[in-house]
Amino acid sequence: MYRLINMEYATLTNQNQITIPMKVRDKLQLKPSDKLVFYESGDSVKVEKLKSIRDFDGLLKGYKHKLTKKDIEGVWLERGSKY
């Protein structure tokens, strides 16, 4: 459960896009072209700024194959990411 300090909202457009409220952009120090990560938990979603590929550590907990940095970077390159 998240501790509610400030609440901001956004409206989903017909193109399935939102504008991130200025207070949230300032808090996360977001700028154009920054990547965001969405973590789903039950019926809630947490949004964080992607700082590095290591932000995904633990995402595949219990996965038997150990992913190397090369494996991870390969997926990003296939998807056209600049990371």
Residue 3 sits in a domain of what CATH number?
2.10.260.10
Distance in Å from the first CA to the final CA of the chain: 31
44-53 LR contacts (CB < 8 Å, sep 24+): 44/2, 46/2, 50/83, 52/83, 53/83
Q: Mark whether 64 and 43 lie in a shared domain.
A: no
Per-position pLDDT tens, the chain of length 83: 556 567 788 999 999 999 999 998 998 899 998 888 888 888 888 888 887 666 666 666 666 667 677 777 766 665 555 44
Q: Mark whether 62 and 41 lie in a shared domain.
A: no
Q: Mark whether 42 and 63 lie in a shared domain.
A: no
Q: Mark whether 38 and 62 lie in a shared domain.
A: no
Q: Based on the structure, what is the number of domains in the chain? A: 2
Q: Mark whether 44 and 11 lie in a shared domain.
A: yes
Output the pLDDT for position 30: 92
The gap from C-alpha 58 to its chain's centroid, in whole angstroms, comes to 14
Q: Mark whether 6 and 42 lie in a shared domain.
A: yes
28, 21 in Cβ contact below 8 A? no
Q: Which structural domain, as residue segments, surrounds residue 18?
A: 1-51
* Lookup: tokens for 71: 């494996």
Query: What is the pTM assigned to this prediction?
Result: 0.52
